[in-house]
Structure 1
């Protein structure tokens, strides 16, 4: 193979015009390789963790934020305990809901009956009844909660019920499994 002829002046000028101005390298000098970067520190995470410790110590204790009241749990005779376990774990999808807040006992009694009947007709088999925790009830305790418990235990179309998980209302609501039509 024959070496390529050296570029002429016109080619050199064309090359310089194409690459633009350049700065010559220093002779004999070497540039040091970049220093390795220090390992990353999760500073925001550490700040957040420190803030949580301080917040836990600084914030006043709010007893209303803790679950209050007895948990309601009932399983119809002859039904599998596994059904109740699954219900308490929240493994059923709630398809309808009624809120009894501000209702009187007679109105709530009628509303629960009509709600369950309508749910069965609509084939809604897992429902939530929000009865409240009775925090404004006097010495009698949670009136609507007791009423809900009594009414559901008497109905043949109720297979099981249990107090809701905290995210669904806790002891202020009950999840009910209904017998299909």
Structure 2
């Protein structure tokens, strides 16, 4: 800064009074994410996943129509996974992709999982069918779903459903808590709400 600029700055700042120091911090009572922000985040995440998840069947490990499917990320407790396997969690929503082509199934699956995660739903049912008569090989959609779900960060675990909910043609899918739920849990634990 030259001297003229410095003089002008001092002149403008002449009546400014410093703030008194304060040791209190004011936090918003509750952090809330708008529906528009959720939709924008889901769209960005969806686009990333659609680029990452293959449609080429040569890249999909095949499974058989009557195979039981099971997947659990590290950190998911055995008791929680057992309850998922036994169908003990309330199913918040379901998606039926059997009968769709591979692209439709992938796009629907990604949109569904991200939407349900953003809404804070923890357990969903995904119907993929067994695919005994699929071409070019049996269980095409089932194989794709099995692979794709393991690639989605929003999927903690999945397991073939109980007989009355589709057996080897459907999956229970467990989703993690969304950011809003984690913030609420942190706030409850910080205040000692878990002791009540």
Q: For 2:121 and 2:171, how far apart are their aligned partners in 1?
A: 15
Aligned positions of 1:33-48 closer than 5 A: none
Question: Which has the larger helix fraction?
Answer: 2
C-alpha displacement of 1:78: 2.1
Q: Distance in 2 between matches of 1:138 and 1:107?
A: 16
| 1:145 partnered with 2:142 | yes
Name the counterpart of 2:161. 164
The correspondence for 1:82, drawn from 79, 96, 102, is 79
Alignment counterpart, residue 100 of structure 1, candidates 97, 101, 106? 97
What is the TM-score when the length of structure 2 is the normalising length? 0.56
Unaligned stretches of 5+ residues in structure 2: 1-64, 179-196
RMSD: 1.2
Give the superposition deviation at 1:138: 3.8
Please report the TM-score for the alignment, with normalisation by the length of structure 1.
Answer: 0.60
Contact 1:75 1:81 in 2 (8 A): no
Structure 1 gaps of 5+ residues are 1-67
Question: What is the alpha-carbon distance in structure 1 between the residues aligned to residue 67 and residue 136 of structure 2?
Answer: 15
**4+ runs deviating over 4 angstroms:** none
> Aligned residue pairs: how many?
114
Would the aligned equivalents of 2:127 and 2:169 in 1 still touch at CA under 8 Å? yes
